[in-house]
Amino acid sequence: MKKILVTDPIAESGYTILREAGFDILDYANSSREEWIHVLPEAHGWVIRSGTNPDEEAIQKADNLEIIGRAGVGVDNIDIQAATRQGIVVMNTPDVNTISAAEHTVGMILAVSRNLAQGHESLNRGQWNRHALVGTELFRKTLGIVGCGKIGSEVRKRLQSFGLNMIGYDPFLTQDDFDPSHLKIVDLDTLTRESDFITLHVPLVKDTKDLFNVDRFKMMKKTARIINVARGGIINESDLAHALIHGIIAGAAIDVFENEPINENHPLLNLPNCILTPHLGASTKEAKEGVSLAVCNQVRDYLVHKNMTFALNNPFED
């Protein structure tokens, strides 16, 4: 009987798919690396989310592993090259979190523009700081969307009703892909200079690491705000803290971090013009259910039928 290791929380419906397929489940969803690393050599399939790091050290211990299934889209936590060398297929579920991430982005934009978190906290402290928490409207402001694919497009659709001017940057898309009355494609420097709000929807790769650093923050309007519900590491967090503290930009709303969970000394903590959430972009009941069903179906179908749905590598090529 083949065994499936699960090291991050998934919905019960995912477990049901695996059990009904006849797999033995090694459930370590709420366990530490030190606990699951010892059973990894037994596993034929491995189901993870963002909380597990299948690095080269772990992959080398996975003697029987055939597939890593990532419930979600981001795979920067997986050493895909090491998996490929080991003959392990890596798959993700790129479409399932789109709505959840887009809605969280819209919520973060509204929260950072109207000081919602700060107002809530001040009331809890017994203060009435209405005049100190004057926000800004979205109407007639410019939204810059960095990464105009599925999530970026869903953000654009949801914010059209606010009367925003929409501009976008995407190295893989051109103006021919969009109605110019809905989205104007520009270069990244133009987007940085002209936007009142910048929202990020790109993967973390070599070209996007520290894409927004102190030099780029200095190009932004002093009244501008940046939102990241994509991946940690796209924004240099120390540089962002510097920009917020010294008034280089007006605010930020950050859901993802270079190292998660963050520690008590993180530079973005306790800044009055920064809203932080603990990687909630895909944390809805609907998204958790969707990615659990998708990834467990994909793992089952690969181990039973060798179907390679949304495979990110091909370890069988010469």
Active-site residue list: 231, 260, 279
| DSSP at 23 | P
Whether 25 and 307 have beta carbons less than 8 Å apart is answered as no
Task: Look up residue 240 and give its two tokens.
Answer: 């962002």
Closest CA to 279 of 261, 252, 255, 257: 255
SS3 content of the chain, % helix, strand, coil (to 5): 35, 15, 50
Three-state secondary structure of 71-136: CCCCCCCCCHHHHHHCCCEEEECCCCCHHHHHHHHHHHHHHHHHCHHHHHHHHHCCCCCHHHCCCC
Quick count: other Cβ atoms within 10 Å of Cβ 200? Answer: 24
Q: What is the dihedral of CA 141, 211, 193, 153, to 10 degrees?
A: -30
